[in-house]
Chain A
Amino acid sequence: MTNRRSVWTAITLMITLVVLAWTTLTSAEVFNYPTPQTDPNDISFYQAPAKMQSYPAGAARVRNVILCIGDGMGLGQVTLARMKAIGAEGKIHMQRLPVHGLISTHSANKLVTDSAAGGTALACGVKTNNGMIGMAPDETPYYSILEAAQAKGMATGLVVTCTMSHATPASFGSHVKSRKMEPEIAAQLIGNRINVLFGGGRKYFLPKSHSDSGRKDDRDLLAEAEDAGYTVIGTANQLRWVRGPLVLGLFQLDGLTTLSPEPMLAEMTRKAIDILDETATDSRKYGRGFFLMVEGSQIDWACHANKAEACARQVLLFDEAVRAAVDFAVADGRTLVVVTADHETGGLTIPEGSLKGDEIKAHWSTRGHSASPVPVYAIGPKSERFGGVYDNTEVPQRIAQTLGIKPFPQARK
């Protein structure tokens, strides 16, 4: 009798465990990450497109703009990721967008740009010297397309996997002489009241009295952000439940690891879109739509290390974020999505490999950046304006045209 009771207890326990496991798995599928990401070279998370043909182009008025930037992502990086994930016959999501272009990336003073000058070109529509953020070589600050959109009454957001104050996001929300001024950049990002800020770099928001601080002053930017109306979060679980209109999500002291338990870039992108769309719909102040910049920041880092597996994974993580943006744009019909890069890193080519995508050999010609042109992919209303071969400064200029923002570029007085 006792034995039978024990057997039934064991069976009941097993059923409970199975139900719990199933509940956990299905709830994780909401974010498309059914398994934790713990291997920096694992690309099993990637969901390849089911179709080969391009997404349909839109024709309506542009209400929202999502600009996706792969830091260091040239054609070699896209090709490597495609080969690793699908093989020679397939396309990753960004390649399925109906409009394709190429842009040059040189800075004002160098043939080979860095992310500060490259980011400034993509954000402000002007060339500057390597190292400078959001200003011309003569130190005249210029409005970024994010700031111009904000002035037009749009909600705005930045989503990255580097520190929030790294060169690319900094170019959209701050104006400083040097990309090294991350504590100052962090303060400007909060001061600019950008609705959504998701990334790493919490150390630059902590006062110097804090043991983890990266600041040399006593400013507590997390407290300042809360006083300004921001909800401040730091975990993936908090991300799932947070609401707008102002959210500061800093998920690491430094750059993100892009591994569990952090939120993945696609998850942050989906949440940012949800918040911004809701904010733009519900709020009079931000009722003119939204502008969001999403950066796959660590493609560049993998390429500086000349690591092909890590490079492919970072491109695919970024491509999942692109998919999130495109899924929203296709459903919404009024959202323009532009995917591009600030520069190429590593001089990557693929001299050998099989059609199936195995035995791929990556050849790196440098550990630095290169002057190779980088791709542009676009979808949505007025996306046809992003085809062709042109300069990186024209990307935000064309976005400004689609939004009816003029003049652009424009110096800040």
Chain B
Amino acid sequence: MRRRRSLRMDATHAPAVQVGDKVRKGQNLCASEAETTCICPITGTVAEVRFDPAQHEFVVTIAPTKPG
């Protein structure tokens, strides 16, 4: 069974995705103007976008697509 995966990105720019968005493995989830790219590790749905003030980062959690 595949587990949820989280991705961190600098919070200066909002993530390119919102809760509920379908995402694919390899997709860049960072805003186009961000310093870096943030490659989505799995195909699935964005389950949560949380701000982490200590690191000044967004934590984007992806729930994997259930097998067919």
Q: Using CB atoms and an 8 Å cutoff, list the residues of chain A in contact with chain B.
A: 110-115, 130-131, 162-163, 166-167, 179-180, 254-255, 298, 301, 304-305, 366-369
> How far apart are the CA atoms of A112 and B14 in the complex, in Å?
11
In the complex, the answer to whether B53 meets A112 with C-beta atoms within 8 Å is no
Number of A-B contacts (CB under 8 A): 49
In the complex, the answer to whether B15 meets A367 with C-beta atoms within 8 Å is yes
The verdict on A366 contacting B33 (CB below 8 Å), with A163-B54, A301-B53 known, is: no
Q: Which residues of B contact A167 (CB under 8 A)?
A: 56
Cross-chain contact of B35 among A130, A367, A368 (Cβ < 8 A): A130
> How far apart are the CA atoms of A114 and B33 in the complex, in Å?
12
In the complex, the answer to whether A254 meets B54 with C-beta atoms within 8 Å is yes
> How far apart are the CA atoms of A304 and B9 in the complex, in Å?
13
In the complex, the answer to whether B12 meets A369 with C-beta atoms within 8 Å is yes
Q: Which residues of A contact B51 (CB under 8 A)?
A: 301, 304-305, 367
**B38 sits at the interface (CB 8 A):** no
Chain B 26-63, CB-CB to A under 8 Å as 1, else 0, gives 00000101010000000000000101011110100000
Q: What are 9 contact pairs spanning A and B, CB under 8 A?
A: A114-B12, A255-B53, A304-B11, A304-B51, A304-B53, A305-B51, A366-B13, A368-B11, A368-B14
> How far apart are the CA atoms of A115 and B55 in the complex, in Å?
12
In the complex, the answer to whether A112 meets B54 with C-beta atoms within 8 Å is no
In the complex, the answer to whether A255 meets B13 with C-beta atoms within 8 Å is no
Least Cβ distance of A411 to chain B in Å? 24
Count of chain B residues with a beta carbon within 8 Å of a chain A beta carbon: 16
Least Cβ distance of A371 to chain B in Å? 10
In the complex, the answer to whether B33 meets A112 with C-beta atoms within 8 Å is yes
In the complex, the answer to whether A367 meets B53 with C-beta atoms within 8 Å is no
Q: Which residues of B contact A115 (CB under 8 A)?
A: 56
Chain B 3-32, CB-CB to A under 8 Å as 1, else 0, gives 000000011111100000000000000010
Q: Which residues of B contact A255 (CB under 8 A)?
A: 53-54
Cross-chain contact of A110 among B15, B33, B49, B58 (Cβ < 8 A): B33
> How far apart are the CA atoms of A332 and B21 in the complex, in Å?
57
> How far apart are the CA atoms of A367 and B34 in the complex, in Å?
13
In the complex, the answer to whether A130 meets B12 with C-beta atoms within 8 Å is yes
In the complex, the answer to whether B58 meets A367 with C-beta atoms within 8 Å is yes
Q: Which residues of B contact A369 (CB under 8 A)?
A: 12-13
Cross-chain contact of B12 among A112, A298, A301 (Cβ < 8 A): A112
Cross-chain contact of A368 among B12, B53, B54, B55 (Cβ < 8 A): B12
CB nearest neighbor in A for B49 = A367
Q: A112-B13, A366-B13, A367-B51 are in contact. List 13 more A-B contacts (CB 8 A).
A: A110-B12, A114-B10, A114-B12, A131-B10, A166-B56, A301-B51, A304-B11, A304-B51, A304-B53, A304-B58, A305-B51, A368-B12, A369-B12
> How far apart are the CA atoms of A305 and B48 in the complex, in Å?
12
CB nearest neighbor in B for A131 = B35
> How far apart are the CA atoms of A135 and B62 in the complex, in Å?
37
> How far apart are the CA atoms of A110 and B34 in the complex, in Å?
9
Least Cβ distance of B43 to chain A in Å? 24
Q: Which residues of A contact B10 (CB under 8 A)?
A: 114, 130-131
CB nearest neighbor in A for B9 = A368
Q: Which residues of B contact A113 (CB under 8 A)?
A: 12
> How far apart are the CA atoms of A304 and B54 in the complex, in Å?
12
Q: Which residues of A contact B55 (CB under 8 A)?
A: 180
> How far apart are the CA atoms of A369 and B12 in the complex, in Å?
5
In the complex, the answer to whether B13 meets A368 with C-beta atoms within 8 Å is yes
Closest 4 pairs (CB-CB, A-B): A368-B14, A367-B14, A114-B12, A301-B53
Q: Which residues of B contact A298 (CB under 8 A)?
A: 53
CB nearest neighbor in A for B50 = A305
